[in-house]
Amino acid sequence: MESFSKVAILRPYQSSTFYAGSMTTRLKALSNWVNDIAELTKPDQIHWCTGTSEEYDTFVQEMLGGGDLLELNQDNYPDCYLHRSDPKDVARVEHLTYVCSENEIDSGPNNNWMPPTKAKEMMMGFFSGCMQGRTMYVIPYCMGPMGSSYSRYGVEITDSTYVAANMYLMTRMGNEALSNIEETGSFIKGLHSIGELDPDRRYIMHFPEELSIMSYGSGYGGNALLGKKCHALRIASYQAQTEGWLAEHMLIVGIENPEGEIHYLACAFPSQCGKTNLAMLIPPESHKGWKVWTLGDDIAWMHLDNEGQLRAINPEAGLFGVVPGTNRKTNPNAYDAISSKTIFTNVAVTADNEPWWEDKETGQPVTDWQGRPYTSENGDAAHPNSRFTVSAQNNPGYSSLAEAAEGVPITALVFGGRRRGLAPLVYQAKDWAHGVLVGASVASETTAAATGEVGIVRRDPMAMKPFCGYNFADYWEHWLSFEKRSEKLPKIFHVNWFRRDKNDRFLWPGFGENLRVLRWIIDRCEGRVEADSLPIGFLPKVESIDVSGLDVSPDVLAQLLAVDTKEWHEEMLQIGEYLESYGDRLPERLKTEHQTILEALT
Ligand code: GTP
Ligand code: SPV
Ligand code: MN
């Protein structure tokens, strides 16, 4: 393999004059920005990413040499590597993530805010000289199918080889993206440095009006792979509002019945609440002839086409998934996908140097995620937010339509949360505006995907609490506005896979068996099944959920579908208070929807 330092696109840093001479793009706006950042951060060299697999190999070799990656058992896990992050840098940091709109009210009560000038000044201080002794990577990337009019471009500048390697797996990055950026002249500017990985010098800053991002002090996924949550959700949600489309924290999945009819669903669940698993579902034994296609597992960009049909593309090209809980039974496609060409972050290791995690159901950990000898007193062997990064192409169920420029037509939108009580297995909103209220009312138990306490129920509207790049009140208004723009909008549903019995056990088997609930959803959209009309929405009749061959008794199914009017009344009062916290900007329509349901429950 060619040694890293000989790669032709490396440019030793000397002076600003040198940068001008070594320009690797004809787009002035880009070369000026790269030069300015190099002047500020003073890297030893600059590497313009080309996006070839040979280049990815050089990243891997570089990291193996420097100890940033460890080789896993190459016989059983070919091209699989382990990255151990700093133990204080293992998740998104919501309290350090800001949306710096010009006016505070535009970022909304849902975001942290700082005046943009102050935020930039502080960040420039952090970035000053921070890349000395390091390589600065310039990563041109495309979010969405290359060349699709729905796709958007970005350039991330980073001093982390791990980030560059992850961006190769997660986005369409390199020369083709660069050519398109030069063609269109437009791209999101993302500046990232791992800095000193000091939690006290760590901020993730967004400037939606300038279409730029600055992230300092973290190397973790959502904080550092700027194409993902920072660009494809926070900045894109803002762009989507101004341009009339939706950027959502949703998986996209295709469900094919034995007759060959395919329906596409887009589902928003909060972090660590089952998107990747649902997107990669394998039909259970009882469902011969059914097929499930993965389009995306985390983010959906959705547009109305000329016929008023909502269509979705997945802006990403890879999976950055939760490792614990993945096994041959729960998610066979993911289990398969991560047995080769995968970067594992913060998993444990077995005596055979294989990756190990909780509920893997094979092997034993000898070394924990921090590299310490594992003993059960240490707690978890793999970090609860340990992740795999793998190309979407590795998923045996990846849909060829994921590359389709026009995206796929969406039949149903599904919201969901992790609720041990209250929320039934599934219900349907009565119409679009009610569905927007259902989405705005989502609450879920917090998980290890973000730092902070786990298991606390919080409001997470549309699963976008950490990701909406502007005021939620305006965001709901934007959602409501679709009602007037199309007569064939998708139907809206809510699901809860996580309801528990009094012994704290999950009532519903979940995973592949969730297909049974998706079937009801599709049948409702096709007008093939009756439902009961309750104040909170349409509920399945007990006999309409097919539980044949499942260990779910009629009594358990009744518990799963139960709606306690008193509890729901209390919930609606709390939702009302939450909505009121958005003040004057809260859409009138949402208030009326809420009032109607509250009254029906009284
Ligand atoms: P992010 O990548 O953080 O956005 O998470 P995600 O929404 O993609 O969640 P994921 O599919 O990775 O699942 C998170 C956790 O929930 C894993 O530990 C899964 O094993 C578990 N899980 C997923 N689906 C189900 C389900 O249907 N039932 C139960 N009980 N657990 C589930
Ligand atoms: C999430 O937390 O929702 C994730 C992982 O998908 S991250 O990319 O870190 O945001
Ligand atoms: Mn996510």
Q: Which of 512, 508, 572, 571 is nearest to 540 (CA)?
A: 508
Mean pLDDT value across residues 33-57: 97
What's the Cα-to-Cα distance from 423 to each of 159, 250, 413, rounded to whole Å? 45, 19, 17
- Check pLDDT > 80 for residue 12: no
pLDDT category of residue 221 using cuts at 50, 70 and 90: very high
Instruction: Check if 269 has its Cβ closer than 6 Å to any atom of ligand 2.
Output: no
| Model confidence pLDDT, tens digit, residues 84-107 | 999 999 999 999 999 999 999 999
Ligand 2 in reach of 279 Cβ (< 6 A):
no
**What is the per-residue pLDDT for 540?**
98
The C-alpha atoms of residue 95 and residue 112 are separated, in whole angstroms, by: 7
Half-sphere exposure of 240 (CA within 13 A, CB side): 30
Residue 304's DSSP bridge partners are 310
The stretch 290-300 carries a mean pLDDT of 98
Q: Is the CB of 386 under 6 A from ligand 1?
A: no
Ligand 1 atom 32 nearest Cα:
274
Q: In this predicted structure, what is the pLDDT of residue 13?
A: 52
pLDDT average, residue stretch 313-329: 98
- Whether ligand 1 lies within 6 angstroms of the CB of 447 is answered as no
CA of 71 to the centre of ligand 3 (A): 27
Q: Residues 6 or more apart from 416 whose CB is under 8 A from it? A: 267, 268, 269, 273, 274, 442, 463, 494, 495, 496, 497
pLDDT bucket at 175, cuts 50 / 70 / 90: very high
Pairing of the two strands 97-99 and 81-83: unpaired
Q: Which residue's C-alpha comes closest to atom 21 of ligand 1?
A: 274
Residue 317 in contact with ligand 2 by CB distance below 6 A: no
List strand residue ranges (DSSP E) for 29-111, in order.
45-48, 70-71, 81-83, 97-99
Give the domain ranges of the chain. Answer: 2-243, 247-318+401-601
Q: Is the pLDDT of residue 22 over 90?
A: no
Quickly state the pLDDT bin for 378 (edges 50, 70, 90): confident
Ligand 2 atom showing the smallest separation from residue 449 Cα: 2
Q: How confident is the model at residue 23, as a pLDDT? A: 52
Distance CA 11, CA 118 (A): 32
Question: Which residue, among 394, 391, 323, has the nearest Cα to 356 in the 3D structure?
Answer: 323
What is the arithmetic mean of pLDDT over 22-38? 90
Helix extents (H) in 263-362 = 275-279, 332-337
Task: Give the residue among 470, 595, 529 at the shortest CA–CA distance from 113.
Answer: 470
CATH class of 2-243: alpha beta
Residue 180 Cβ < 6 Å to ligand 1: no
pLDDT > 90 fraction of the chain, expressed in percent and rounded: 95
Structure tokens at 595: 């009032």
**Cα 390 from Cα 398, distance rounded (Å):** 12
Q: How far apart are CA 296 and CA 322, in angstroms?
A: 15
Q: At what angle do helices 432-440 and 588-601 cross, to 10 degrees?
A: 90
Dist. CA 118–CA 370, nearest whole Å: 36
**pLDDT value at 15 more than 50:** no
pLDDT for residue 476: 99
Q: How confident is the model at residue 376 (pLDDT cuts 50, 70, 90)?
A: confident
User: Cβ–Cβ contacts within 10 Å for residue 495, how many?
Assistant: 24
Task: Please return the burial class of 342, using the count of CB atoms within 10 Å of its CB with bins 0-12, 13-18 and 19+.
Answer: buried
Mean pLDDT of 304-318: 98
Vertex 220: Cα angle to 215 and 226 (nearest 5): 45
Residue 599: pLDDT above 70? yes
Radius of gyration for the chain, computed over Cα atoms and rounded to the nearest angstrom: 24
> Residue 473: what pLDDT?
98
Instruction: From residue 452, give the alpha-carbon distance in Å to each of 11, 74, 91.
Output: 41, 36, 10
Q: What is the pLDDT of residue 453?
A: 95
Question: Could you report how far apart the first and last alpha carbons of the chain are, in Å?
Answer: 72
The per-residue b/e assignment along 206-223, b for 16 or more CB within 10 angstroms, e otherwise, is bbbeebbbbbbbbbbbbb
Plot region of 7 (φ>0 → left; ψ -120 to 50 → alpha; else → beta): beta
Task: Give the distance (Å) from ligand 3 centre to CA of residue 249.
Answer: 6
In degrees rounded to 5, what are phi and psi of residue 410? Answer: -100, 125
272 CA distance to ligand 3 centroid (A)?
7
Are the C-beta atoms of residues 241 and 358 closer than 8 Å to each other? no
* Any ligand 1 atom below 6 A from CB of 497: yes
CATH number, domain 247-318+401-601, options 3.90.228.20, 3.40.50.300, 1.10.10.60, 3.40.30.10: 3.90.228.20
CA of 276 to the centre of ligand 1 (A): 7
Where b means 16+ CB within 10 Å and e means fewer, 436-446 reads bbbbbbbbbbb
Confirm if 108 and 470 have CB atoms less than 8 A apart: yes
Q: What is the pLDDT of residue 11?
A: 52
What residues have a C-beta under 5 A from ligand 3, the ion? 271, 298
Nearest ligand to the CA of 327 is 1
Exactly one of 49, 100, 130, 273 is catalytic; name it. Answer: 273
Query: Could you read off the pLDDT of 418-475 as tens digits, one per residue?
Result: 999 999 999 999 999 999 999 999 999 999 999 999 999 999 999 999 999 999 999 9
Asked if residue 341 lies in contact with residue 330, where contact means CB atoms within 8 angstroms, the answer is no
For 350, the token pair is: 């077995």
Distances (CA, A) of 542 to 82, 386, 424, 491, 547: 46, 38, 12, 21, 10
Neighbours of 504 (CB within 10 A): 7
**Exposed/middle/buried for residue 483 (C-beta within 10 Å: 0-12, 13-18, 19+):** middle
Q: Are 274 and 323 in contact (CB under 8 A)?
A: no
From ligand 1's centre to the CA of 298, what distance in Å? Answer: 11
Distances, alpha carbon 304 to alpha carbons 143, 171, 442, in Å: 18, 24, 24
Instruction: Over range 494-504, report the average pLDDT.
Output: 97
Q: For residue 216, what pLDDT band results from cuts at 50, 70 and 90?
A: very high
Atom number, ligand 2, closest to the C-alpha of residue 221: 9
For residues 219-228, average pLDDT: 98
* Domains 2-243 and 247-318+401-601 are alike in CATH topology: no
Per-residue pLDDT at 312: 98
- pLDDT tens, 529-543? 999 999 999 999 999
For the chain, the average pLDDT equals: 95
Residue appearing with tokens 């990656």: 69
Residue 511 is encoded by which pair of tokens? 């995973």
Write down the pLDDT at residue 377: 87
Question: Residues 110, 578: contact at Cβ < 8 Å?
Answer: no
Give percent of the chain with pLDDT exceeding 70: 96
Active site residue 273: yes
pLDDT-derived band at 484, boundaries 50, 70, 90:
very high
